Amino acid sequence: MVDIHADIKNRLFTITRMGGNELLTPGTELTELKFEGFLDWFVCITDPKVHWKYEPTYIISQTVVVLGGLFTLIHAIVRGGRLPWLWFGITLHGIFVEILCYIIPDVDNFWHSQTPIIFFGRRLPLHIILVYNCLIYNASIAVAKMRLPKWSEPFAVGLTVVLIDLPYDIVGVKFVHWFWHDTDPNIYDRHYSVPWNSYYFHSAFTCSFVFWFHFLRRVFCQSKGKWFKGKSFLKEFFATFLASLLGPIGGLPLFIPIYHPLHDVFNIHSEVTYFILLTIFLLLIWSGDRLSRSNEVNWKIPNKTHWTTFLLILHLVLHYTTFWIIPILFNPENEISTGIKEQIGPCNEYVPVQTISGMILQKRKYLCLSDYDETYFDWHCLPKQQHPTNKALWYTSCGTPFENRTEYIAVVSLICLLASVVFYNLHFKSFGDQVFSLTDDQLKLCNPKLKRKKL
């Protein structure tokens, strides 16, 4: 049971016990969340049927992500070496990033819709822990087959992650799978309701994590090659754990030379700053690829595909197909999300936003009902289309119809076409799965530049 104290006259609700499916009922409003002990705060389990009733596309999306987490884990365990450590490190990295966003007010600017299993005060859905592997692990395995130099590979993984994330972000927010802060200056500039800085974030943080993961292996772990685990379990654990922590820490400085001065000082749109980053990443990737291709003449090993690779490819097919079909078959206006969101309140209260560059910006403390710019949700599914009351932080939002459904389908179709060509070439037209089985000494035999140094 759920105990809720209600002030009917003012439509204010205070919860004294969280849990149960009743809280997911459309129209439920809460102004305060109280938990009965640590376990009640740590995890909440609700009936998937209730979620399917109100947000069927979200359940579909979660299922695909969970399958992706399972498939990537199977690939990591079967192939062995450092791949299980990569999977583990990505999982830790994702948890660290999410928790940092929840506990630091300056970056607390998004809220996931509720799910059947959700953690940390109803903020962290189970599938979000796994989505980082769907993105980063898939990208890392595919890019590894390019055999890029160590200075180029992290940038390639960062951009490949964005390619996987694009349909997930565009379709997910339209179908109210999560919500963005309305006035946060760092996420104000949008692309189909997705902040441009979401793509910047994925590029930068992934690049940082991949760099630290491989760099710390070379520093601490003695192994026969890049993808071979070291002799010491403790050293591997330490290197992986440290890479997970340094991933977000190293990603933040990538915002300083481009985004913050151009956006915060000169008011340049975030679309421009992201495309500057994209261009730099592409140049570094292309330069590294030219260098690796110059060594291909001595690559005598046949290109073979391990059966577990087809699990990764199957997930990618499910991923892109899912977010292509959802805009075709489902209507976002039928999606109803009840849960924690940006708190409703006065329009004239602002809070400072401290940026990594040292500048202090500002955002509204509350969602202003009379002046908000979000077009992907409204209150049409509630009785009399009544919006939430002041100070509500748990309330119902309704998805809105497509302004142009065909445009969404066309955009996602183009992304799917691009992804199919990219991943086909990475998995089947590059150096193959044997890159995970070759020692450093074996790879040197394929590098004419290293041979010339010995002469």
Residue-by-residue pLDDT tens, the chain, 455 positions: 344 444 444 444 454 454 567 889 999 999 988 888 899 899 999 999 999 999 999 999 999 999 999 999 999 999 999 999 999 999 999 999 999 999 999 999 999 999 999 999 999 999 999 999 999 999 999 999 999 999 999 999 999 999 999 999 999 999 999 999 999 999 999 999 999 999 999 999 999 999 999 999 989 988 788 898 888 899 999 999 999 999 999 999 999 999 999 999 999 999 999 999 999 999 999 999 988 665 554 556 667 889 999 999 999 999 999 999 999 999 999 999 999 999 999 999 999 999 988 899 999 999 999 888 889 999 999 998 889 999 999 999 999 999 999 999 999 999 999 999 999 999 998 888 888 988 777 666 655 554 444 33
Predicted confidence at residue 5, as pLDDT, reads 46
E strand or H helix at 4: strand 4-7
Please give the model's pTM, rounded to 2 decimal places.
0.92
**H-helix segments, 258-344:** 259, 270-293, 309-329
Question: 40 and 103 in contact (C-beta within 8 Å)?
Answer: no
Q: How far apart are CA 307 and CA 424, in angstroms?
A: 15
The pLDDT assigned to 301 comes to 66
Q: Is 194 helix (H, G, I), strand (E, B) or coil?
A: strand
Predicted confidence at residue 314, as pLDDT, reads: 98
Question: Could you count the other beta carbons within 10 Å of the beta carbon of residue 19?
Answer: 16
| 198 alpha-carbon distance from chain centroid | 8
Kindly state the tokens that stand for 190: 């949008």
**Are 57 and 335 within 8 A, CB to CB?**
yes
Residue 440 in contact with residue 214, Cβ under 8 Å?
no
Please give the helix or strand (H or E) that residue 308 lies within, else none. Answer: none
> pLDDT at position 16, please?
45
Distance CA 63, CA 174 (A): 18
